[in-house]
Amino acid sequence: MSTRVTGAPRTLGDGAAPVLDVAYIALGSNLGDRAAHLSAARAALAALPGSRVIALSRVEETAPLDASPQEPYLNQMIVLETTLRPRELLEALLEIERGEGRVRTTKWAPRTLDLDIVQFEGQTVTEPDFVVPHPELPNRDFWRRELAEVRLQR
């Protein structure tokens, strides 16, 4: 699997240090070898250009939020320091999902790998197809628990 993101690192000006964002990324899987999909996602995130994993929560098993019968999820939160712009990061996450065989069918369908940007430190995104903080954050106890866990490591 390979992930390619184009574009030079952002800088504040000539010779200035690159602009670093801190992104809180939720990993989820409830299809196939769930642990292997999360493991591949961790490796792919760590290998993104201009990026470094600075904290990660434990992997936890959670009951599916959907009322329809589904397998339980493995969930984990990762904190990524990155020079990628928010949109570049989202594109990279979608490519990592595809690399793990993610096929989009219906909303909330079982998935090999789901990568959601839950929060950025110090910035919000409100675009038609891209919203950060993730609108579901208030409704997901496991994300809030994992956020608390990774914040203790910072």
As measured in angstroms, the least distance from the Cβ of 14 to Mg ion is: 38
For ligand A4P, which is the closer residue by CB, 2 or 105? 105
Task: Find which of Mg ion, ligand A4P, none residue 33 binds, CB within 5 to 8 Å per kind.
Answer: none
9's CB contacts (< 8 A; 6+ apart) are 18, 49, 50, 83
Kindly list the residues in this chain that would bind Mg ion in the complex (CB under 5 A): 114, 116
Task: Find which of Mg ion, ligand A4P, none residue 52 binds, CB within 5 to 8 Å per kind.
Answer: none
For Mg ion, which is the closer residue by CB, 100 or 116? 116
As measured in angstroms, the least distance from the Cβ of 11 to ligand A4P is: 25
For residue 27, give the nearest of 79, 69, 83 by alpha carbon.
79
Q: From CA 48, how far away is CA 17, in angstroms rounded? A: 18
For residue 119, give the nearest of 137, 104, 107 by alpha carbon.
137
Q: From CA 91, how far away is CA 88, in angstroms rounded? A: 5
For residue 38, give the nearest of 25, 48, 51, 50 by alpha carbon.
25
Q: Does 62 bind ligand A4P (CB under 6 A)?
A: yes
The binder of ligand A4P chosen from 38, 73, 78, 89 (CB under 6 A): 73
| Site residues, ligand A4P (CB under 6 A) | 28, 62-66, 73, 75, 90, 104, 107-108, 114, 116-117, 129-132, 134, 136
